Amino acid sequence: MRPKDIALIALFTALMCVLGLTPRIQLPLLPAPFTAQTLGVILAGGILGARRGFASMALFVLLVAIGAPVLVGGVGGLGMILGPTGGFIIAYPFGALVTGLLIERWWPKLNYLTAFLAGFIGGALVLYVIGQPWLITVSAKVSLADGWWSWIVYLPGDLIKTAIAAGIIVTVKKAYPLITPRRTDATPAAA
């Protein structure tokens, strides 16, 4: 891994820590707060690509696990990962990975719509698929019926975060692209 890659991974890990400084918005009856940190997941995958985006979010999860107070509300620790919101935290690297894979795949024709789709699939759906079952299993406060449908409460905010991220991703692609287009069968190999 090149020094530039390491610096970018650290930069996006730091961005996640900064997003953790945003106010905690606790939704009624649900143990998982609404946070801006999922925006960081989408941006990591969408700007850095799959591999570096995954690495930056994995480093963030490691910081949480060792107790760094980097989550919203200034909390961290293994208890956060083992608690009701732990599935969402564990999903961060996978959300960035999926977002990055889709952005790389659609790179030649990347526009606002494709960036939005990639961000929503990776930054919302992947997090829901991993986080919701964890929330239902670990939380004593959420019934099975309420747990399966609680993601709808987060949907409007996730759509807004995805829209913001898509605009940033497309702007960065035009101004300072950090992702190299994937090689296809029609692309000649480098000499």
Q: Where are the domains of the chain?
A: 3-175
Q: How confident is the model at residue 164 (pLDDT cuts 50, 70, 90)?
A: very high
Distance CA(9)–CA(15), nearest Å, equals: 10
| 111 CB-contact burial (10 Å; exposed 0-12 / middle 13-18 / buried 19+) | exposed
What's the whole-number mean pLDDT along residues 31-51? 92
- Percentage with pLDDT > 90 across the chain: 68
| Per-residue pLDDT reduced to its tens digit, 120-143 | 999 999 999 999 888 888 876 666
Is it the case that residue 30 has pLDDT exceeding 70?
A: no
Instruction: Answer with the residue of higher pLDDT: 46 or 185.
Output: 46
pLDDT of residue 149: 72
* Tens-digit pLDDT profile for residues 44-83: 999 999 999 999 999 999 999 999 999 998 999 999 999 9
Averaged over 24-44, what is the pLDDT? 84
CATH class of 3-175: mainly alpha
Distance from the Cα of residue 99 to its chain's centroid: 8
Cα dihedral across residues 110, 157, 29, 41: positive or negative: positive
Per-residue pLDDT, 191: 42
Residue 150 confidence (pLDDT) above 80 = no
Distances (CA, A) of 109 to 30, 50, 78, 164, 168: 39, 17, 41, 19, 16
SS3 181: coil
pLDDT of 23:
85
From residue 190, how far is each of 183, 186, 187 by CA, in Å? 10, 12, 9
**What value does the mean pLDDT take over residues 100-127?**
96
Structure tokens, 107 = 């790179």
Average pLDDT along the chain = 89
Residues forming a β-bridge with 190? none
Q: Which of 90, 89, 103 is nearest to 168 (CA)?
A: 103
